[in-house]
Structure 1
Amino acid sequence: MKRALCRTAMSPIIYEVLDFAAAIYDRDLRMLSQAPSLPLFMGTLNFCIEEAVKGVGGEENLYEGDIIIYNSPYGTGSHPQDAALVMPVFFEGELIAYTAIKAHWLDIAGKEPYSTDTVDVFQEGTVYPGVKLYSKGNLVNDIFKMCIANTRVPNSVAGDINAQAIGVRTGERALKRVVSKYGLKKFREAVEEIFDAGEKIVRKYLTDIPNGEYFGSGQMDNNGVEEGSVPFDVKVLIKDDSVVLDMSEAPPQQNGPINCPLPSTVSTARVAMSMLAGSNEAPNEGFFRPIEVITKKGTLFHPLSPAPCFLYGWPALQAMEVFYKALGSKHPEKVPASSGGCINAVVYWGQKKLTGEPWADGSPHPIGQGGSVHGDGATCLHHAESATRFAPTEVWENRNPWLVTRVELIQDSCGAGKNRGGLGVNIEIEMLEDTFATTVCERT
């Protein structure tokens, strides 16, 4: 699925940066497998699939060849630009699974291609609440035309939608081949064994952490539209071989776009624990069984419509760090030190002088990971971005009206120590035409 998507997508933010999630879930919405890409999307698609299927009227309205489009932030866990395509998988007439890809579209008709000051979800882009893009294998052209009409970069988005459709179909065909080869009964037995093995990995790690309550705190610089920091607290409860991440004391949902929807809040715990306990194993639903996340509706980490969510990723990034901070307060050998500031995302857009064609591009510019007892922190690799990458200079310059004049590691930016942190990166770009740019930098 990942390979099919990357080989056919139009936008570098998908095929180079890898800002997407590609996964297979069983009928009960348990994650069988997710391709390495943006870690922050880990285990969010069960929420998305559930809401997408509800949007078309439930399982009874699903047919072989259907593909649903869904991008409501409260179901995807993301901003509207992270749009998902969901495909049911049938075997001998029985619904057995879903394939899904959530990927970042460069524009979806929000007030800007990348907004930092929205006050409700309606300013952030067009919302598709679960509608069929393909019905029984046939393109629903009216829906496709709506998607293309509601973007500043229609050629890129059209290509990316088609690439996502190719990706979910690739997963569907591959899964059918496996089930056809081994039979449905053996397939389901194997799934349970895989889940049980994943569960044991995380539970074994948790038994090495003493029981108790651990506390950490974080702080957003502001909420995007109002002055003043937004602090939040996290409680972590370790009990034998399970963990509870309690976010219920978070501040109320904010007037600006830093609200983090529930799926991404849950993902922060899943990603953090999988990274600590995973032993290089590919996570699956079993990894998540020992993890419980508690939230309160109407708060920063469980916002309700129409709360703006465009910058959801920044509190999610911090929540991961605070989770480690809480455990590290008593057992620093168990977790890495905090990373540097944040991923420092930048999105550029404009119109090319020669053709008048609208263009857009974007990329994170992460700083170094914190060091640990095991060694130095990784360079240019935030925890939550650890499977993504920069677009090559040649790709940037070929697609966009600019020259990249410098890409270099920043000397002595690592936080010296026995095991140092990772270095940051200095990127300089000369714009050859008028260009708009939006950047987000937290923990300044």
Structure 2
Amino acid sequence: MKEKSPVDPITFEVIRNQLVAICNQMGTILRKTSYSPILYDMIDFSNSLHFKNGDLISQADNCPTHIGAMHISTREAVNVIGIDNIAEGDIIISNDPYQGGTHIPDIIFTTPIYYNGSIVGFASSRGHWIDLGGAAAGISSSSRHLVEDGLVIVPTKIYSKGEPISSVINFLRANTRMPQCVDGDINAFRATLAAGVLGVKGIFDRYGEDVFYQTVQKLFDYTETRTRNAIRRIPNGQYRASDEVDCDGISPDSVHIEVSLTINDDEILIDFEGTGPVNKGSVNSPIANTYSAAYYALKFFLDPDAPQNSGYYRPIKIKLPEGIWINAAWPASTRACTTAAGEKIADVIWKALAKAIPERVNAANYGVSSEFFGGSYPKTGGYFVFGDLAPGGWGATPECDGMNVTYNRDGNCMDLAPETAELFYPVFCERREFIPDSGGAGKYRGGLGMRQTWKIVGSKDVTVSQMMTGTKTGASGINMGKPGRPGKSILNYGEKNESVLGGLTPEGDWKMSLFGNSPLNDGDSYTSESPGGGGWGNPLDRDAQSVLEDILDGIVTPDKAKNEYGVVLTEAGDEIDYKRTTALRESMK
């Protein structure tokens, strides 16, 4: 007779939600105690709990780009150190892209969870550090080698039995332009991990080891079942797509990617055969990042509400040929992997899915638009580094317009608040505004990009480094939707000496959109114009009243309303002349 499981449905749900609550609490602590704005203000981090073999048990809704990488980095940390060499109170630090990491700025902290003298699991926290050395402050977008990305940290103990290892911490201080943040951020991560450990121990205390282990296994099976059921709703078949990243930061040539999705009942095979080779620049992706991007791309259209754990990975197989840029190996630079590479991996998967379920898939998002500044304070001479994860337009959906000026799929991050930047750094934010007409036209319009200007105040030796995609053609539309407006960056926007730093020039030329260490002097300004999202459906099918509302809201100009949507305002400007609209639309078909 089969033994009855002690895990009843109510206990299962209580523990499942408690695991998520623990991860959320870890995030709250990290945000409240960290020293760096990119952590406490921009929320560029993720927190997770793992089974004793490294399998992901639970993860907070932090950065989707970390969803498929956290368990890989945790396993690598344990394998390198050796589980028999990990004591209670130890903390392991690492960021090596080729040992479970993604790009150099994302540092992973891992600690064991001990109960009754044995390891029962691990807590992990991954966060973006503003600077870890490298060829440029914050972003070395034109790196040719991994060491130009910054300090590579193989899995190493930074705490031993609860005591800090000062030699490791001193080594970190000596390899960053922002040593003043190191101690505070390390302590914040330590507190974050402690919350994870205490939370899991609390579950053990209340329910016991057997109930916990059985719940975890049921949790994996539960997510797997929900994921397989979602896959069954996609028609069987093989669906192919290809796409390009603008450049690799060294060559102006586009970087090619191909994918084939094979749906076989309740399983998916993702095959990247045909993708271009490892490139010379920074747009390369290690395995952990590629897996993560593929997982979060599919998550949108499988079962977004299913719990995040290792059960999700079981029905999804990924084939990565050797030598391609999304299966990079040392010493290739991976600096742009989480954003430029990760977003394009997601784009090409969405394009393939659109051939299987066109009624469900969105148009393309803006890509990435990030800039990092480095320089010295005018009065003290001390060095500063700050970055901005500038948002852009999301692609339109089959049911509604794309979101305006929203950070992309790879992270639930925030752009840097101007008030924070102006308080801590010698800059002034001159403008933050929507870019009219930047969303691709369609039955549903793509979201708008943003124009933002940072002006240097007092400092004379500032550099800016940029990572922007979608600057050659813009985010693609779908089902006859039009592409979004391409992005670009501008030196001294609106001034007599205005010039394009990256992207398309007024003359039609294109400048490298991934670059490092472009100089800025006192009084100079840097403006980013993030791309808009692609449109969904035929623009001529858009409701005329919606076009009018877009005009009145400054989202669409009258010229674009006429040329793309076939909508013309009357002289009064407060109504649509439907006769002229109908005639014009017919002439445009």
| CA–CA separation in structure 2 for the residues paired with 1:44 and 1:88 | 18
Q: Please tell me the residue identity of whatever aligns with 1:290.
A: P
| CA–CA separation in structure 1 for the residues paired with 2:406 and 2:271 | 27
Equivalent residue, structure 2, for 1:364: 389
RMSD: 1.6
Aligned residues of 1:359 and 1:400 also touching (Cα < 8 A): yes
1:193 Cα deviation from its structure 2 partner: 2.1
| Of 48, 62, 67, the match for 1:37 | 62
Tell whether 2:438 aligns with 1:413: yes
Equivalent residue, structure 1, for 2:464: 437
Greater shift in the superposed pair: 250-259 or 372-381 = 372-381
- In the TM superposition, what whole-angstrom CA distance separates every residue of 1:46-99 from its partner, at most 9, and x where no partner exists? 11112222332x101010000011110123442211111111111111111111
Q: Please tell me the residue identity of whatever aligns with 2:321.
A: K
SS of residue matched to 2:108: strand
List runs of 5+ in structure 2 lacking aligned partners: 1-25, 472-589
Equivalent residue, structure 1, for 2:484: none
Aligned residues of 2:248 and 2:282 also touching (Cα < 8 A): yes
Q: Percent identity at matched positions? A: 30
| CA–CA separation in structure 2 for the residues paired with 1:77 and 1:136 | 24
Greater shift in the superposed pair: 193-202 or 12-21 = 193-202
| CA–CA separation in structure 2 for the residues paired with 1:378 and 1:280 | 20
Equivalent residue, structure 2, for 1:396: 421
| CA–CA separation in structure 1 for the residues paired with 2:303 and 2:428 | 40
Equivalent residue, structure 2, for 1:337: 363
Change (3 A) 1:242 1:346: same
Equivalent residue, structure 2, for 1:89: 113
Aligned residues of 1:269 and 1:291 also touching (Cα < 8 A): no
What are the equivalent positions in structure 2 for 1:220-369 lying under 5 Å apart? 220-313=245-338, 314-340=340-366, 342-369=367-394
1:330 Cα deviation from its structure 2 partner: 4.1
| Of 54, 62, 75, the match for 2:99 | 75
| CA–CA separation in structure 2 for the residues paired with 1:288 and 1:274 | 10
Q: Please tell me the residue identity of whatever aligns with 2:164.
A: L
Change (3 A) 1:305 1:420: same
1:297 Cα deviation from its structure 2 partner: 2.8
Greater gyration radius: 2
- In the TM superposition, what whole-angstrom CA distance separates every residue of 1:179-232 from its partner, at most 9, and x where no partner exists? 111111101111122222222222122111111100010112222212322212
- In the TM superposition, what whole-angstrom CA distance separates every residue of 1:315-374 from its partner, at most 9, and x where no partner exists? 21101011010111243112111113x221111111111122211111211211111223
| CA–CA separation in structure 2 for the residues paired with 1:178 and 1:395 | 39
| CA–CA separation in structure 1 for the residues paired with 2:215 and 2:237 | 35
| CA–CA separation in structure 1 for the residues paired with 2:132 and 2:288 | 21
| Of 215, 219, 234, the match for 1:190 | 215
| CA–CA separation in structure 1 for the residues paired with 2:250 and 2:379 | 36
1:423 Cα deviation from its structure 2 partner: 1.5
Aligned residues of 1:202 and 1:273 also touching (Cα < 8 A): no
Aligned residues of 1:222 and 1:228 also touching (Cα < 8 A): yes
Aligned residues of 2:95 and 2:101 also touching (Cα < 8 A): no
Tell whether 2:130 aligns with 1:103: no
SS of residue matched to 1:349: strand
| Of 186, 205, 208, the match for 2:233 | 208
| CA–CA separation in structure 2 for the residues paired with 1:301 and 1:279 | 25
Aligned residues of 2:343 and 2:410 also touching (Cα < 8 A): no
SS of residue matched to 1:118: coil
Aligned residues of 1:54 and 1:130 also touching (Cα < 8 A): no
Q: Please tell me the residue identity of whatever aligns with 1:427.
A: Q
Equivalent residue, structure 2, for 1:54: 79
Q: Please tell me the residue identity of whatever aligns with 2:463.
A: F
- In the TM superposition, what whole-angstrom CA distance separates every residue of 1:101-132 from its partner, at most 9, and x where no partner exists? 11111111212121012121122211111111
- In the TM superposition, what whole-angstrom CA distance separates every residue of 1:5-42 from its partner, at most 9, and x where no partner exists? 10111111111211112111111221111122221111
Q: Please tell me the residue identity of whatever aligns with 2:124.
A: A
| CA–CA separation in structure 1 for the residues paired with 2:305 and 2:449 | 25
SS of residue matched to 1:276: coil
List runs of 5+ in structure 1 lacking aligned partners: none
Change (3 A) 1:298 1:77: farther
Aligned residues of 1:297 and 1:304 also touching (Cα < 8 A): no
Aligned residues of 1:39 and 1:387 also touching (Cα < 8 A): yes
Aligned residues of 2:30 and 2:192 also touching (Cα < 8 A): yes
1:416 Cα deviation from its structure 2 partner: 2.6
- In the TM superposition, what whole-angstrom CA distance separates every residue of 1:423-444 from its partner, at most 9, and x where no partner exists? 1112122210232111111232
Runs of 4+ in 1 over 6 A off after TM superposition: none
Q: Please tell me the residue identity of whatever aligns with 2:86.
A: L
SS of residue matched to 2:124: strand
| CA–CA separation in structure 2 for the residues paired with 1:370 and 1:110 | 34
SS of residue matched to 1:40: helix
| Of 220, 242, 245, the match for 1:217 | 242
Give the structure, 1 or 2, with the largest relative contact order (CA under 8 Å, sep 6 or more).
1
| CA–CA separation in structure 2 for the residues paired with 1:389 and 1:282 | 24
